[in-house]
Amino acid sequence: MSNKQLDYDIIIIGGGLVGAGLACALGGLNANGNKLRIAIIEAIPFRDAAQPSYDDRNIALSQASYRIFSTLGLWPDIIKAATPIESIYISNRGHFGAARLHAKNHGVDALGYVAQTRAIGEAFKQRLQNLDNVELICPAKIIGLNITDELANILIEQDGKNKTLSCSLVVGADGAKSKTRELLGIATQTHDHGQTAIVANVTPEKSHNNAAYERFTDSGPLAFLPMSEQRCALVYTVWHNEVEEILNLDDNAFLARLSERFGDRLGRLIKVGKRGSYPLALNKAEKTLAKRAVLIGNAAHSLHPVAGQGFNLGVRDIAVLAETINDALSKNNDIGNETSLKTFQQWRQSDQQRIIGFTETLVSVFINPLASVKLMRNIALVGVDLLPPIKNLLARQTMGIAGKQPRLARGIPLN
């Protein structure tokens, strides 16, 4: 149900990958025959160098994300700059265990895709420019929040002035340090992994053949993801105290260090592009729901990138929240209604817990120095490789298709 007395039906705080993605999913929905009125409050413009969501990073998109973006009609724009992952090799540096996943063994053309965050953002931006019911308020920041039974009032700061905007539902998609979460008084559990991810594009001597490589080393995981022009997107996890030294190495010394960790499965590493670094920690909101408010994406859960699951989890938040809102609208219910928001939370909880558990287990087991744990993980990798049911489970987890799937992931549009 749309309330015409309010400025908007929904205000999304944060126009990063998840906030903008949600606006794309909601843009076509109607309330009583009228389009939903949506605002995005974003602190940093799209092309600004300080924009944290749309940068040079290349991230892995899962099968589920591909399906959701396809149903939303966004995929043709995303695929222009994406590379399919046809196989994944998981190995443990200096040990015998290894596991392999191949798309064709799991009935799909690709286990996932690699795309630059800026290119995904470009696809969202194009869509949003064609939606006259979505307003982007940028640069602007949320600074206050007052929620009653009837509405949410959001205090924003724009051009040095404060302004209050009202809506039925506020969605916090403002990242790991979410101000919305803080204003809602929701606590977070944080686990600093003591690690930083160094990212760069690397060109190896041999063709990657659309394979992704995940290699566990003593300092943490190392991923090579396939990209265009035979380049690989590197995610190299190191301990915090090693970062400065590694970032300061010249290109040849950096590639030599990398080869020593990664081995020679792609031949010699020839070239490396600009390096960037991201300190890693698990942040998990103690709840993702408050009166007339929900948290999604990194505001609800930010993960170690080891399994490439963070944004993919956020995409499934988007799909389930859009479906929940659509269901409330079709029953002429208030979209900020607690019952429908609880449906969203309950549905998302199991997927979020499963992926956080899976990611944290990988991080802790694969960097544990104890010999007994090392032996167990080698046995586990061999087990995954040899036992089809375990392999299928790992593949379904990686592809994001374990558990109850939202309509958008099943190819069914919302309206």
Ligand X SMILES: Cc1cc2nc3c(=O)[nH]c(=O)nc-3n(C[C@H](O)[C@H](O)[C@H](O)COP(=O)(O)OP(=O)(O)OC[C@H]3O[C@@H](n4cnc5c(N)ncnc54)[C@H](O)[C@@H]3O)c2cc1C
Residues in touch with ligand X (CB under 6 A): 13-19, 41-44, 52-53, 57, 59-60, 141-142, 173-175, 179, 197, 199, 235, 278, 297-298, 305, 308-312, 314
Minimum separation from the CB atom of position 177 to ligand X (A): 7
Q: Provide the b/e sequence for 380-392 (b: ≥16 CB within 10 Å).
A: bbeebbeeeeebe
State which residue, 204 or 314, has the beta carbon closest to ligand X. Answer: 314
State which residue, 10 or 43, has the beta carbon closest to ligand X. Answer: 43
- CA dist 190 and 302 (Å) reads 9
Please name every residue paired with 191 in a beta bridge, in sequence order, or none if there are none: 282
Minimum separation from the CB atom of position 180 to ligand X (A): 7
Minimum separation from the CB atom of position 328 to ligand X (A): 23
State which residue, 225 or 384, has the beta carbon closest to ligand X. Answer: 225
Q: Show Cβ contacts of residue 403 under 8 Å, excluding neighbours closer than 6 positions.
A: 350, 351, 354
Per the document, the length of the chain is 415
Minimum separation from the CB atom of position 282 to ligand X (A): 12
Minimum separation from the CB atom of position 288 to ligand X (A): 12
State which residue, 212 or 414, has the beta carbon closest to ligand X. Answer: 212
Minimum separation from the CB atom of position 389 to ligand X (A): 25
Tell me if 16 sits within 8 A of 297, measured CB to CB.
Answer: yes
For residue 264, give the 3-state DSSP assignment. Answer: coil
State which residue, 133 or 178, has the beta carbon closest to ligand X. Answer: 178
Give the β-pairing of 38-41 and 134-137.
parallel
Tell me if 180 sits within 8 A of 143, measured CB to CB.
Answer: no
Give the β-pairing of 87-92 and 220-226.
unpaired
State which residue, 31 or 306, has the beta carbon closest to ligand X. Answer: 306
State which residue, 57 or 292, has the beta carbon closest to ligand X. Answer: 57
Minimum separation from the CB atom of position 294 to ligand X (A): 13
Minimum separation from the CB atom of position 124 to ligand X (A): 10
Q: How far is CA 257 from the centre of its chain?
A: 29
Sheet architecture: strand order including 289-290: 134-137, 38-41, 10-13, 169-172, 293-295, 289-290
Q: Provide the b/e sequence for 333-368 (b: ≥16 CB within 10 Å).
A: ebbbbeebbebbbebbeebbeebbebbbebbeebbe
Distances in Å between the alpha carbon of 320 and those of 96, 201, 409? Answer: 41, 33, 9
Q: Show Cβ contacts of residue 138 under 8 Å, excluding neighbours closer than 6 positions.
A: 15, 40, 41, 42, 43, 44, 45, 46
State which residue, 36 or 176, has the beta carbon closest to ligand X. Answer: 176
Q: Show Cβ contacts of residue 101 under 8 Å, excluding neighbours closer than 6 positions.
A: 87, 88, 90, 111, 391, 394, 395, 398
Minimum separation from the CB atom of position 38 to ligand X (A): 15
State which residue, 14 or 97, has the beta carbon closest to ligand X. Answer: 14
Minimum separation from the CB atom of position 201 to ligand X (A): 13
State which residue, 216 or 334, has the beta carbon closest to ligand X. Answer: 216
Q: How far is CA 354 from the centre of its chain?
A: 15
For residue 124, give the 3-state DSSP assignment. Answer: helix
